[in-house]
Structure 1
């Protein structure tokens, strides 16, 4: 089949195709064999990833299944009526015979998703776009904190497990993808207590919000994936220490939610660290009011426990997940917050487990550093 498209210089053709979304590329592969060959090359997939925009990854539980969905997001604002699903995967495919527990998303790096399953003591790394995964057994049954990221210099993908056992002491285990085994890393600090079992990855470091007796309030505990050393820095002075704040990332900044002034209005402050590692750069960026219908059982005192910031749009508006049940949209201009009705089919009979941003990758799982040595399974 001859097309005027292929009479153009190859540089122009690539420039055109690299602007397509993952969904459009999947459709284009069906047009003709020349396009199928070009769009299926490693070089094209690698170049496309460098230009790819983040998508929304979220898990949903129904009465009889868990599903992982990836949806495209607009850069300017949320559109409840237009969201193309890139993939919709049964969380428990037949290939995963022992994968029978409730699993959760634990992070996203270079187009890869990290999932963990406590009941079966397993970790999973997947490329949901190519529908591939591999799993690793946890080094210990009682692991309580996890993390997934990539080192800044060597580019090694690593899983990290923290196993506290009292008095601030803990064991740290690291699995470098491709090595096939866990190794213990000596800790040069005390871990303390954390309410979040999954670390937040940013700037080559894994981060937990921790609290321990020697410190009067929460601090951020860091693990450098390159040096494999621990450090910590302070959060801004808070009204009270509650030991239940969680870390997230927004616009490549660390952030966390806190109650506004404890005045019963349910308002939540989103703090952002504008300069990484600079404690003076903590800023009160947003004040939002989540849906109070999800407050209760004492949570009306700590509404920030229910709020998960996900994405900041170009106009400054924020997409959030509230109460693991509904998506909400906060307008920075009007200072108002609204529920996104019918977003992704929400309704009775299911709830969201968690959500995060994922940059879709067309690269096969074995294309990533170290992955050629892993037992990759397609589903």
Structure 2
């Protein structure tokens, strides 16, 4: 792909900076491609600051080619949501595969903090991240009085409010979402809606008399009902996992056994997908471990099991790869799922217990250590999700009303 640098004031193909006594001629002789190579390798926060250096740099960084090249080189990190008594905010954490976890902390020097409170007109809005794909976030206001859906780029501070989908969710009906991108670069939100009949005593799901799946392709301005969703018990707190062009949910049949629901974003159909143990009740979550689909099970009183599907879509390739002995304060019956967030090249795993305890596990030493995320003491929670930054502008989606927060 070629790229043409916007013309500078001087007859020179190189980018220029404002003329001062200290930087007169600085970078004047560097080819524009060299500047591009340098900028795309800088930390996100530094690139944002570089947009203000001069008009040429601003034009370069906001060009679609820059966002494409930068994303191809961007390191994957985390988007972390902090919920405190008086405020909620998000942070993007840049994680290098060579990150040394010996210090029991996350690299705060590369954090980018943002607050999405202003995207909603409601003072009691409670916005969470319900999906991440190719640098964009799918956000949802979980206050059912005014549930609203958004697509957001936290790097460019742009967001678009999606039109309301059909069928408002009211208990005991339930809805779950997924967010992903196709190979052609289409971003899609998937919404699975179920009406339920519950047992009046146990509140267990007895039947699903109606279900449907709706898809919103970002930039089209309209939802589509694409296929009737299989009447399984989806969890409204379960976030769809995007991997290999599909969205995956860990669900239950009406007898309570765990299954995996898989939605093909390209064909917009549900496809059968095998769990590692179809006849077993678990307390689990889906994740990605070294590029493979994994399932983390916390149903044991003493261990956390991580199963890995070594060959995608092949039932016989499921293998129990890691068993983590629980630390004393976490042993016994649990009601919290454990999520795999990241595997590092040095054998460290980063995991999240429920919404309050982030920890490292070393596959070599078998040691579990808590992570310092500067979380204040008191009623609070943290959530984390895989994320890779992008400078893609939401303005490319012509039918979306894009705003800045």
Same fold? TM cut 0.5? yes
> For residue 168 of structure 2, what is the aligned residue in structure 1?
141
Return the index of the structure with the highest Cα Rg. Answer: 2
Deviation of 1:89 after TM superposition, in Å, equals 2.0
> For residue 353 of structure 2, what is the aligned residue in structure 1?
322
> For residue 386 of structure 2, what is the aligned residue in structure 1?
357
Conserved 8 A contact 1:177-1:374:
yes
Is 1:157–2:187 an aligned residue pair?
Answer: yes
Q: TM-score, normalised by structure 1?
A: 0.86
Where structure 2 has 5 or more consecutive residues not aligned to the other structure, the ranges are 1-18, 197-206
Query: Which has the larger displacement, 66-75 or 83-92?
Result: 83-92
> For residue 150 of structure 2, what is the aligned residue in structure 1?
124
Q: TM-score, normalised by structure 2?
A: 0.81
The structure 1 residue matched to 2:263, chosen from 223, 235, 238, is 223
Paired residues for 1:66-145 under 5 Å:
66-77=88-99, 78=101, 80=105, 82-93=107-118, 95-98=119-122, 100-119=124-143, 120-136=146-162, 137-142=164-169, 143-145=174-176
1:268-295 C-alpha deviation (Å, 9 max, x unpaired): 0111212211112212222224555466
Closer, same or farther in 2 for the Cα pair 1:273/1:36, shift >3 Å?
Answer: same
> For residue 275 of structure 1, what is the aligned residue in structure 2?
311
Is 1:254–2:293 an aligned residue pair?
Answer: yes
Report the Cα distance in structure 2 between the residues aligned to 1:107 and 1:81, rounded to whole angstroms: 22
Q: SS of 1:7's equivalent?
A: coil
1:277-331 C-alpha deviation (Å, 9 max, x unpaired): 1112212222224555466xxxx3246x332210111223111122311321111
Where structure 1 has 5 or more consecutive residues not aligned to the other structure, the ranges are none
> For residue 13 of structure 2, what is the aligned residue in structure 1?
none
Number of equivalences: 361
Q: SS of 1:347's equivalent?
A: coil
Paired residues for 1:29-68 under 5 Å:
29-68=51-90
Conserved 8 A contact 2:175-2:234:
no
Deviation of 1:213 after TM superposition, in Å, equals 4.2
1:162-209 C-alpha deviation (Å, 9 max, x unpaired): 11224455111111112212121222x623113343211111111111
Q: SS of 1:301's equivalent?
A: coil
Q: SS of 1:76's equivalent?
A: coil
Paired residues for 1:284-363 under 5 Å:
284-293=320-329, 300-302=332-334, 305-340=336-371, 342-343=372-373, 345-363=374-392
Report the Cα distance in structure 2 between the residues aligned to 1:292 and 1:131, rounded to whole angstroms: 42
Q: SS of 2:33's equivalent?
A: helix
Report the Cα distance in structure 2 between the residues aligned to 1:285 and 1:170, rounded to whole angstroms: 36
Closer, same or farther in 2 for the Cα pair 1:64/1:6, shift >3 Å?
Answer: same
1:87-108 C-alpha deviation (Å, 9 max, x unpaired): 3222312x52126232221111
Closer, same or farther in 2 for the Cα pair 1:277/1:99, shift >3 Å?
Answer: farther
Q: SS of 1:280's equivalent?
A: helix
